[in-house]
Amino acid sequence: MLSQSKKEFIEFMMESDVLRFGDFVTKSGRNTPYFVNTGNYKTGRQIAKLAKFYVALIHEECGESFDCMFGPAYKGIPLAAATAAALYNEYGIDKPYFFNRKEEKDHGEGGSLVGYKPKDGDRVIIIEDVITAGTAIRETIPILTGAAKVSVPDMFISVNRCEVGQNPAKTAVMEVMEEFGIKVHAIVTVRDIYEYLKQEDGSGASLERMEKYMQQYCVF
| Residue 35 falls inside a structural domain | yes
| Residue 109 falls inside a structural domain | no
CA atoms of 143 and 216, how far apart (whole Å): 33
Dump strand ranges (E) for 52-200. Answer: 68-71, 97-105, 111-115, 123-127, 130-131, 151-160, 183-189
| Ordered per-residue pLDDT tens for the chain, 220 residues | 789 999 999 999 999 999 999 899 877 788 899 999 888 999 999 999 999 999 999 999 999 999 999 999 988 999 999 999 999 999 999 999 999 987 665 544 546 899 999 999 999 999 999 887 777 888 899 999 999 999 999 999 999 999 888 888 899 899 999 999 999 999 999 999 999 998 887 657 788 899 999 999 999 8
| Residue 194 falls inside a structural domain | yes
Q: What is the pTM of this model?
A: 0.90
| Residue 107 falls inside a structural domain | no
| Residue 111 falls inside a structural domain | no
Q: Total structural domains in the chain? A: 1
Q: Domain range spanning residue 121?
A: 4-101+116-217
Here the CATH number for the domain that contains residue 193 is 3.40.50.2020
Rg (alpha carbons) of the chain, rounded to whole number: 17
Residue 108's pLDDT is what?
46
Active-site residue set: 105, 107
Cβ atoms of residues 177 and 184 within 8 Å = yes
